[in-house]
Structure formats: C-alpha cells, structure tokens
Amino acid sequence: MLAITRVLSRRIHGTSDVTFPKLSGFSIISPKNVEVEFANGTKFSFSSEFLRVHSPAADGKVRSIGGEKVISGRRYVGIMSAEPVGNYGVRLVFDDLHRTGIYPWDYFYELGSNKFGLMRNYIKTLQKHNLSREPPPSRRKK
C-alpha cells in the first residue's frame, strides 16, 4: 500500500512524468457511485466510500495509527455534490461534510488503475487496527 500511496502522492504533487489520457466524461450516477471516462476508452466506476477514504485532502477525519492514514466507518457515505475546479479536477462534497478534497482528473485515472489493490489494502489496514467500514453506532440520549 505504501508504494501505491507514494506513486499517487508524487502524481498529486506534480513530481511524476507519467502522461494520462484526457477526461471525456464524469457522472455522479447516484449518491453512492461515480463514473469517470477517459479519451482512450477507459472507464472507471467508483463507490463514494472508495473516493472518500482515498481523498487527496490532508485532513478529513483521519485517524493516524502508527503513521498510517486510517479512515473508518464510511461504508454508507454519499456524495452530495461535485464542484468543478478549473479544468483539472473536481471537489466532491460528501454527506459526512467532508469537502476539502480536490480530485484531479489524473488522480481518478490512477485510483481506477489501482482500485482493487487499494481497496484490499484499505480493508487489511482496518482489520489490522480492529476498525470497521461500518459507521459507529449512533449515540442517542435517552
């Protein structure tokens, strides 16, 4: 996971020479699903949970455990809106009120290209720290 995270981080911060195909489509299919299509015909479908836990934002209700970025309890998070950011990306606003992540189009391409490995590593990290994808039980006062 660390190697994939480093590659993604280098790309976000502009230190990679990799060229990505041009974006040809972006759609919020439902509050739980986003589709991104590129000019080379590659199409990726992302769950809102996946995008939320891989937010490029530095904050975002992150728990740091032993130096690892761990975001738990986001299985049912939804996307409320998408706001264009110039010609290079989009800011996703999630229903847990996280809104600081700007997703460049090439970041979507890298996420999609590594989606299964990233999700597998996310689940392993949660298990390692005895955390869950499920939201914590609500605390209702009686």
Q: Is the pLDDT confidence value at 51 over 90?
A: yes
Q: Is-above-0.85 flag for pTM? A: no
DSSP 130: T
User: H or E element: which one contains 101?
Assistant: none
More confident call, 97 vs 36: 36
For 92-107, the pLDDT digits (tens) are: 999 998 888 899 999 9
Return mean pLDDT, the chain: 83
pLDDT for position 71? 86
CA distance 22 to 92: 20
**Domains of the chain and any CATH numbers:** 23-129 (3.30.2020.30)
Q: Which residue matches tokens 């979507």?
A: 108
CA distance 44 to 51: 12
Q: Which two tokens stand for residue 63?
A: 């728990």
Q: Is the pLDDT confidence value at 91 over 70?
A: yes
Q: Is the pLDDT confidence value at 124 over 80?
A: yes
pLDDT for position 16? 55
* CA 77 to the chain's CA centroid: 12
